[in-house]
């Protein structure tokens, strides 16, 4: 099998689009997280879907950045780095949600409930330790990284600019969830999913590197003896 840079870029585009589709699908009929029983099969399946989404999103945004890293400059690098940290911590949180919280529900239900409250932007009644830091980093990385990365992508004019704007706006808008009812959590995730799909499809269609060629009919000067 011949692995090419063009093929890897296309694969990352497919990963980004798939991550966006999963991000949207997992919101359908999602129960309120604070009332969600972490021992149920549905909880584990949804958490595993979010783990897959985070992995694919990381692969996708990496390909998106590499496709235009020269044009994106320092702003693109900073945006990509912060956004990647956001998704890495989302991945860590969802792994904990799928594997640790269900095991703690019988022995320490108060801690589990506090984690769920903190995950929705609330103030837990007890101490959840370092997980609070992880949740804070996850939120900050997602919001700030999405904003900076979206602006950088918009400026390069390589991938779909509407998707870049939607990425910046949708990730920044999630900051409002701290003061909005829980019912807004699911609808707010849909624009981000659409943005990832749009960027992924655009990356797939524009996966070739920009090549500077000589104009037709150009005459090359002979090399000096």
pLDDT per position as a tens digit, 168-209: 999 999 888 777 766 667 788 899 999 999 999 999 998 765
- The residue range of the domain holding 77 is 7-205
| E runs forming strands in 41-131 | none
First to last CA, the chain: 44
223 is a domain residue: no
210 is a domain residue: no
Q: What pLDDT is recorded for position 198?
A: 96
| Tally of structural domains, the chain | 1
d(CA 192, CA 164): 10
195 is a domain residue: yes
113 is a domain residue: yes
Q: What pLDDT is recorded for position 27?
A: 85
218 is a domain residue: no
Three-class secondary structure assignment of 120-188: CCCCCCCCCCCHHHHHHHHHHHHHHHHHHHHHHHHHHCCCCHHHHHHHHHHHHHHHHHHCCCHHHHHHH
CB atoms within 10 A of CB 84: 18
d(CA 46, CA 85): 22
Q: Residue 156's closest CA among 79, 81, 68, 75? A: 68
d(CA 7, CA 168): 27
Q: pLDDT tens digits, residue range 26-35?
A: 988 777 665 5
pTM value is 0.85
2 is a domain residue: no
DSSP conformation class of 33: G
105 is a domain residue: yes
Between 180 and 64, the higher pLDDT residue: 64
Q: What pLDDT is recorded for position 188?
A: 81
Length reported for the chain? 225
173 is a domain residue: yes
């Amino acid at each position: 099998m011949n692995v090419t840079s063009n093929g890897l870029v296309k694969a990352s585009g497919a990963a980004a689009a798939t991550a966006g589709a999963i991000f949207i699908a997992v919101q359908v009929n999602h129960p309120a997280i604070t009332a969600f029983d972490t021992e149920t099969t549905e909880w584990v399946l949804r958490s595993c879907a979010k783990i897959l989404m985070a992995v694919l999103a990381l692969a996708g945004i990496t390909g998106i950045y590499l496709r235009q890293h020269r044009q994106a400059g320092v702003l693109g690098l900073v945006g990509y780095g912060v956004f990647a940290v956001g998704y890495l911590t989302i991945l860590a949180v969802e792994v904990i949600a799928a594997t640790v919280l269900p095991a703690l529900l019988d022995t320490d239900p108060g801690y589990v409930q506090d984690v769920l409250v903190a995950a929705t932007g609330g103030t837990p009644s007890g101490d959840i330790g370092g997980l609070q830091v992880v949740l804070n980093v996850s939120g900050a990385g997602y919001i700030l990284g999405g904003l900076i990365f979206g602006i950088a992508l918009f400026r390069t004019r390589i991938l779909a600019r509407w998707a870049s704007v939607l990425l910046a706006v949708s990730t920044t808008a999630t900051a409002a969830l701290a003061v909005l009812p829980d019912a807004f959590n699911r609808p707010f995730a849909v624009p981000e999913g659409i943005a990832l799909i749009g960027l992924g499809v655009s990356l797939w269609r524009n996966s070739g590197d920009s090549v500077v060629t000589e104009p037709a009919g150009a005459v090359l000067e002979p090399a000096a003896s």
